[in-house]
Amino acid sequence: MEIDHTSMFFEASIDGASATCSWATSVGQSKSKGYKFKNDKPGLVSFIIGLNYKIYNTPENEELDTKEGSDSRELLYFSLFDIVFINGVRVENTKFIILLVKEHSKSHDGRILISYPNYAEVKKGGETSVSNKDAMKKMAEIINCSKGCWFVHDITIKNQDELHFSAIVVHEEPKIYSKSQMRKKEWDLLVKEKSEKENAPINKIYFGAPGTGKSFKISDDLKQKNVDKCYQRRVTFHPDYDNASFLGAYQPLSNDNEISYQFVPQIFTNVFVDACKDPNNQYYLIIEEINRGNCSEIFGEIFQLLDRNDEYPITPSEELNRYLKDKNIDSKFYKDGAMLLPDNISILATMNTSDQSLYPMDSAFKRRWDWEYIPISYVKGEKNKSYKYFIKIGKKKVKWIEFIKSVNDKISKNPNLGIDKCLGNYFIKPETNNKIAIDSFINKVIFYLWNDVFKDEPNESIFGKDFLKNNKNLTFESFFPIDKGKKNLKKIFKKLNIMPKDPQGDENKVEDQ
């Protein structure tokens, strides 16, 4: 929900005049309309729902303190959020207070305001337990502007309990403006530029080792932008996927026992038509496993559109052209039988680097995309859910993060393998309570390592006789039946130095199954 840009700012002043924050945004219309809520204000409905969901009823030993506020504002209720973000980054161990108030000033009697004052506090036994001012200091640290000029332009509630602030850093030092109009003009321009950048259409490929969370990264990025799923279209490329599967083709259709041929549009054509007819919304075409299909064949004649150059429209096939004409599209992106890629379509794709040999992309195709590498993370943190995964073997728990770190170290140091073959954080899904089942671990993880990674590197692998001090190399068959597989897993875990110690301190002791 967009807020008044001068309602929450820091270290900005007007030369020779006062410049104080209002710490509030109006949600009501004009006085003549009775200050009814603005139904068309983007984000307001979800914000009010979130406020009601997080209403805080203070216990007897707690109280809300807003004594520094205006006497003309009547508190209706307040909400307390313990999940707080700024610019997509979690503000750890922080709570924030949002007020819903009614104004009783002479000029705006009855107006409803959403208020987020820096002076709001919750006190417990006379001591401050929650302070908005403290929360704002932490926000400033996160955006690296503890002493500089910055302001908040949007406050959004997601999932009914997450409070998200969107801020812009103006200058690393305090800033003085000659006039308030100059400040407004600059800040409005900064918000506009940020919005244009965030909403600018892109072609981007997220790439990395298998299981690094590339699809999740796309979904999370779109979630941060508040993109409704109705504007997201998802498809997975595979070796049999072709141009007709992507654009559409004539297919026989039966109607009252009569066969007729009609053009049946597919995902690209459908999103193209929707975007042309709905220019006010941004659409996202998401391609999973883009390199598992033959991109040159799949994109075909629309390959040129990826340049996003108005001077180079393409002429689609006769069949597609006829279909588009029948849709009565009134858009500059389809005119006189020529197509351009609409500005409100972004194409996002994922690519496993371990699969790059399936259908190599030529340089002409690659250069038409932005690329973002998704690394493997071994760091403990809220966003790294895999840090809590474990493999239960007997009475012991082997940490998944330690396993992939040790194995990936061996893989990445082998010049014949490299980081492309490493295991990502989310290569395997755990059962409930973060537990990875042994049979799933063997059938998915061990099989991948044996068949796709170490099969041609027996002497340098975790299955090698030299590594395990065995008489012979292990094969995938060495892990069946499962009870036999558990014993061999223990050997591997011990040699990787990730097997937990026994309570007696004997780390070499193996518990019976």
Kindly report the number of other CB atoms within 10 A of residue 209's CB atom: 26
Whether residue 435 has pLDDT greater than 60:
yes
Give the phi and the psi of residue 51 in degrees, each rounded to 5: -60, -45
User: Kind and range of the H or E element at 276?
Assistant: helix 267-277
Cα 297 from chain centre:
30
Beta bridge partners of 100: 77, 114
Whether residue 207 has pLDDT greater than 50:
yes
Q: Please tell me the distance from the alpha carbon of residue 236 to that of residue 450, in angstroms, as a whole number.
A: 26
482 in the same domain as 392: yes
Kindly report the number of other CB atoms within 10 A of residue 157's CB atom: 23
167 in the same domain as 22: yes
- Which structure tokens are listed for 105? 């000033």
188 in the same domain as 83: yes
In a domain, 78, yes or no: yes
Confidence of residue 174 (pLDDT cuts 50, 70, 90): very high
In a domain, 486, yes or no: yes
- Of 284, 282, 285, whose CA–CA distance to 298 is shortest? 285
What was the pLDDT predicted at 331? 94
- Of 293, 266, 268, whose CA–CA distance to 283 is shortest? 268
393 in the same domain as 296: no
Beta bridge partners of 251: 262
Provide the sign of the torsion angle of the four alpha carbons 191, 192, 193, 195, taken in this order.
Answer: positive
- Tell me the percentage of the chain whose pLDDT exceeds 90: 73
Kindly report the number of other CB atoms within 10 A of residue 431's CB atom: 10
In a domain, 501, yes or no: no
277 in the same domain as 164: no
Contact residues for 168 (Cβ-Cβ < 8 A; gap 6+)? 150, 151, 153, 187, 190, 191, 194
Say which range, 79-88, 182-191, 310-319, 358-367, has the weakest mean pLDDT. 358-367
Choosing from 340, 373, 406, the residue where a domain stops is: 373
In a domain, 1, yes or no: no
Choosing from 315, 345, 373, the residue where a domain stops is: 373
Mean of per-residue pLDDT scores for the chain: 91
Q: Please tell me the distance from the alpha carbon of residue 115 to that of residue 98, in angstroms, as a whole number.
A: 6
75 in the same domain as 55: yes
Quote the domain boundaries for residue 177. 9-198
Burial of residue 149 (number of CB atoms within 10 Å: 0-12, 13-18, 19+):
buried
Confidence of residue 29 (pLDDT cuts 50, 70, 90): low
178 in the same domain as 46: yes
Domains contained in the chain, number: 3
